[in-house]
């Protein structure tokens, strides 16, 4: 199919008429810039890749209650079903005494999904949510051969699963380079939407590095993805798999032009661990983080809004042992820049537990390098402690000017928060209340100045520009955050 840019062709014809040149002679010679574009033809790549795409059906075992009355003939049941007639009530009779009937177990369909051949010896890749909770997994190839599959491993965090079927000589997919994938590039999905096997849909890459998952930066496309497409391949124009179709944004349950795929490079790293050990091991350092806003970056002299703001450090965790403090901003991990907070869990998670890594943190106007030993991520998270009661306020003139009444921090609170010092917020009003400060908050830093006691806190406030917002590092419920207080005029 050929598409012409009619506006440009009209301009060519008009200019040709003004110059006394015929339109026919003009188009191929004088107006080569009148673009002619050809829509892509996906037939060859679909023919190439579709034999590698499989249909996945899952079954679950349920306990069926035994019939307690005469059973209706199957042909009669089909008659009532076909003509939409209500089923007749059949009389029930009690089971014979001393002969209790046990419930019988039967398999029922649970769900339908897609997958693709990862290697010729029978390894299949799909989504973890496709096989989650399944008692039996059936894989159907394009030549209609059906196999019972063994679940080698499934990782819910990345939504990647690896299956194995007893077959050889299978047509494995070719894996593409995700780093070469460009926004606007044509891509194709093959899968089983609503159980319709080997359905092909096409679209373009809408965005990359979408932060919709804890450990994965998703590929966003406008390819029509529907229930049943999950686990199928996302294919580039070279016939290479660049992603696994995983999620859709929908208000109706059907495609709305926004779908998300797991990048294939990330999926392969997960699959390698699943094939080797049946599980995925990820690293952790024991910090709770938040994004760095432009306001925070400018107020503390970081400049660019980048890195991960440390809001809390778990006691005894690797970060704690390395000297990481709440309020630090982690700007590099192993020498690689942390552009946004969501980058850090992915970087740390990809490191093998036991490895020594380097953190570059920005603290009170300067950078510092710390060495941390990565440990394995646990399944449970520590429960935050409730704040203790504030001590009696001793007053601070500068603090009161911001609507704050503060007091010395108790030794017990210092030990609980594992900090060297700070001041306790006793009451808030005016500017402090508008900024969101609360009673019981603990302030440990003003701008880039540490405030371990009332004296240093007062001194730091006195030196600040009264016309500008004050950046305070505040602890609340064992979490640290920057709060900006704009003085009243």
Top-level class of domain 397-485: mainly beta
- Of 50, 52, 192, 230, which residue is the catalytic one? 230
Detail the residues annotated as belonging to a binding site. Answer: 129, 159, 228-230
Concatenating the DSSP letter of every residue in 354-374 gives T-EEEEEEEETTEEEEEEEE-
Copy the structure tokens of residue 339: 């552009």
Q: β-strand 240-248 against 174-175: which pairing, if any?
A: parallel
- Of 30, 119, 121, 129, which residue is the catalytic one? 129
All structural domains of the chain with their residue ranges? 2-38, 40-62+105-280, 283-376, 397-485
Nearest Cα residue to 333 out of 321, 346, 314:
346
In tens digits, the chain (489 residues) has pLDDT values of: 445 454 554 555 455 444 444 444 444 444 444 444 577 889 999 999 999 999 999 988 766 555 554 455 544 544 444 444 455 554 444 455 555 555 555 666 778 899 999 999 999 999 999 999 889 999 999 999 999 999 999 998 889 999 999 999 999 999 999 999 999 999 999 998 888 888 999 999 999 988 765 667 899 999 988 888 899 999 999 999 999 998 877 666 666 778 899 999 989 999 999 999 888 888 999 999 988 999 888 888 988 899 999 999 988 899 999 999 999 999 999 999 999 888 898 889 889 899 999 999 999 889 999 999 999 886 544 333 334 444 444 455 667 677 788 888 888 888 877 788 888 888 888 788 888 888 888 888 888 888 888 888 888 887 777 777 888 888 887 788 888 887 765
Q: What is the pLDDT of residue 378?
A: 66
| Residues 238, 176 contacting (CB under 8 angstroms) | yes
Q: Using the structure block, give the residue that is written with the tokens 């930066």.
A: 217
Nearest Cα residue to 266 out of 282, 255, 278:
282
Domain 40-62+105-280, second-level architecture: Beta Barrel (2.40)
- Of 50, 114, 159, 478, which residue is the catalytic one? 159
Copy the structure tokens of residue 67: 């019939």
Q: Rounded to whole angstroms, how far apart are CA atoms 195 and 114? A: 9
Q: Is residue 119 flagged as an active site residue?
A: no
Q: What is the pLDDT of residue 402?
A: 78
| Residues 189, 141 contacting (CB under 8 angstroms) | no
Checking 244-252 for CB contacts under 8 A at 24+ apart, the result is 244/125, 244/126, 244/127, 244/159, 244/160, 245/114, 245/189, 245/191, 246/127, 246/159, 246/218, 247/159, 247/212, 247/218
Look up the CATH number of domain 283-376: 2.30.42.10
**388-419 burial, b for 16+ CB within 10 Å, e for fewer?**
eebbebeebebbebbbbbbbbbeeebeebbeb
Q: What is the pLDDT of residue 22?
A: 44
Strand partners, 288: 312
| CB neighbour list of residue 171: distance below 8 Å, 6 or more residues apart | 51, 52, 117, 120
| CB neighbour list of residue 391: distance below 8 Å, 6 or more residues apart | 407, 408, 409, 410, 424
> pTM, whole model, 2 decimals?
0.63
CA atoms within 13 A on the CB side of 125: 35
Q: Is residue 343 flagged as an active site residue?
A: no
Nearest Cα residue to 427 out of 402, 464, 455, 462:
402
Detail the residues annotated as belonging to a binding site for substrate. Answer: 129, 159, 228-230
Q: Is residue 99 flagged as an active site residue?
A: no
Q: Rounded to whole angstroms, how far apart are CA atoms 196 and 55? A: 9
Domains 40-62+105-280 and 397-485 agree in fold:
no
Measured from the Cβ of residue 42, the count of other Cβ atoms closer than 10 Å reads 19
Q: What is the pLDDT of residue 212?
A: 62
């Amino acid at each position: 199919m050929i598409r012409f840019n009619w506006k440009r062709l009209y301009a060519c014809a008009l200019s040709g008429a003004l110059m006394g040149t015929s339109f026919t002679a003009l188009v191929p010679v004088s107006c080569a810039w009148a673009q002619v574009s050809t829509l892509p033809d996906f037939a060859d790549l679909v023919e190439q890749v579709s034999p590698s795409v499989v249909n996945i059906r899952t079954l679950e075992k349920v306990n069926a209650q035994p019939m307690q009355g005469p059973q209706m003939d199957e042909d009669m049941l089909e008659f009532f079903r076909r003509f939409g007639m209500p089923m007749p009530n059949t009389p029930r009779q009690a089971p014979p005494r001393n002969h209790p009937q046990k419930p019988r177990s039967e398999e029922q369909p649970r769900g339908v999904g897609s997958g693709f051949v990862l290697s010729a010896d029978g390894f299949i890749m799909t989504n973890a949510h496709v096989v989650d909770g399944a008692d039996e997994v059936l894989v159907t190839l394009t030549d209609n051969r059906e196999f019972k599959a063994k679940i080698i491993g499934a990782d819910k965090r990345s939504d990647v699963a690896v299956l194995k079927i007893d077959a050889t000589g299978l047509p494995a997919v070719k894996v593409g380079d995700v780093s070469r994938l460009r926004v606007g590039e044509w891509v194709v999905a093959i899968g089983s939407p609503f159980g319709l096997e080997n359905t092909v849909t096409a679209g373009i890459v809408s965005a990359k590095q979408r932060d919709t998952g804890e450990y994965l930066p998703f590929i966003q496309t406008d390819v029509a993805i529907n229930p049943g497409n999950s686990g199928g391949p996302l294919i580039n124009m070279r016939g290479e798999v660049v992603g696994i179709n995983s999620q859709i944004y929908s208000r109706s349950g059907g495609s709305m032009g926004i779908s998300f795929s797991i990048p294939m490079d990330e999926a392969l790293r997960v699959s390698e661990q699943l094939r080797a050990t049946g599980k995925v091991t990820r690293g952790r350092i024991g910090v709770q983080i938040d994004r760095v806003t432009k306001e925070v970056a400018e107020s503390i002299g970081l400049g660019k809004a980048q890195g991960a703001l440390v809001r809390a450090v778990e006691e005894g965790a690797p970060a704690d042992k390395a000297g990481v403090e709440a309020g630090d901003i982690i700007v590099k991990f192993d020498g690689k820049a942390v552009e946004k907070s969501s980058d850090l869990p992915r970087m740390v998670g990809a490191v093998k537990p036991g490895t020594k890594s380097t953190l570059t943190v920005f603290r009170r106007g300067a950078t510092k390098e710390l060495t941390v030993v990565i440990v394995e991520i646990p399944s449970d998270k520590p429960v935050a402690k409730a704040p203790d009661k504030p001590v009696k306020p001793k007053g601070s003139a500068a603090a009161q000017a911001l609507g704050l009444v503060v007091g010395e921090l108790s030794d017990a609170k210092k030990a609980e928060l594992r900090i060297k010092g700070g001041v306790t917020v006793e009451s808030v009003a005016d500017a402090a209340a508008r900024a969101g400060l609360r009673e019981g908050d603990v302030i440990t830093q003003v701008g880039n100045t540490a405030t371990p006691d009332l004296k240093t806190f007062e001194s730091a406030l006195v030196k600040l520009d009264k016309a500008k917002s004050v950046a305070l590092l505040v602890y609340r419920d064992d979490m640290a955050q920057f709060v900006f207080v704009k003085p009243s005029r």
